A = this chain, B = another copy of it.
């Protein structure tokens, strides 16, 4: 199985505590390294977990509340001081780049490496990037300021029809040509089209990140069938009124989204600092969606 793994760097909410950092996640897929959100102290968390920030290819920032990005400028600064030259792809709300530029200006810093910034926008799910292995999507969620969720999905694998292999016994060179999209010419000079030979897999794994957001029904369609859903659950259901007022979700909201989208696994996080014991939150979510886990700092989840 190709490695696809999420590491929780911080699972707390706006007020960081000694035991729970604010939101930051590290995602690894077969040599591709990403951060989703980057709260204050993220660079130290990475050091503690022996993850090199120099290897990061992409950083996604969901929105500009401080508990989701106040560690970004420090991380960028440290990459610069460590002589990074590899370009960094950065996805975030449009104002993010102005903030970074103002801070770099104030310290008279000209980065050794380029930041390729792509502003998030739009009221629909959008493909914001793609590489050989993965597709990257953003979608709007519902919060007090513009905020986006992310979906990171394997591309369909190109499998060759086993019946074709049995019938024609193609050699290695021919198989490579087929993988690259070419048609096949058989011994009698008849052409078999590539589309007839290739079967696209439909079981691609995907990770969806939804924070910060109120319960927002359109998310269900955006993430349909996702392998792992991280959804914020700031409050328990008894504080539904407070959740609605602050445009956050409850454990029940998160579980309902997981259930309706037919997610395979749910991870809840962004817990209000009022909760010392997280077991009641877990129990409440599991009452609706049994395959739920609690996000705690340092947790690793294989996708």
Residues of B within 8 A of A44 (CB): 16, 18, 40-41
Residues of B within 8 A of A144 (CB): 108
A-B contact pairs, 20 of them (CB 8 A): A14-B78, A14-B81, A15-B78, A18-B47, A18-B48, A40-B41, A41-B44, A64-B103, A66-B74, A66-B107, A70-B73, A95-B102, A98-B102, A99-B99, A99-B102, A99-B106, A102-B102, A106-B145, A107-B145, A108-B145
- Per-position binary interface string of chain A over residues 130-145, scored 1 when its CB falls under 8 Å from any chain B CB and 0 otherwise: 0000000000000011
Chain A interface size range: 35 or more
Interface: A262 (CB within 8 A): no
This chain: how many copies in the complex?
2
Closest to A76 in B: B66
- Taking Cβ atoms with an 8 Å cutoff, the residues of A that contact B are 14-18, 40-41, 43-44, 47-48, 64-67, 70-71, 73-74, 77-78, 81-82, 93, 95-96, 98-99, 102-103, 105-108, 144-145
A107 with B40: CB separation less than 8 A: no
Residues of B within 8 A of A67 (CB): 77
Q: Measured between C-beta atoms, what is the minimum distance from A41 to chain B in Å?
A: 5
Residues of B within 8 A of A106 (CB): 64, 93, 95-96, 99, 145
Most B C-beta atoms less than 10 A away, residue of A41, A96, A144: A41
Residues of B within 8 A of A78 (CB): 14-16
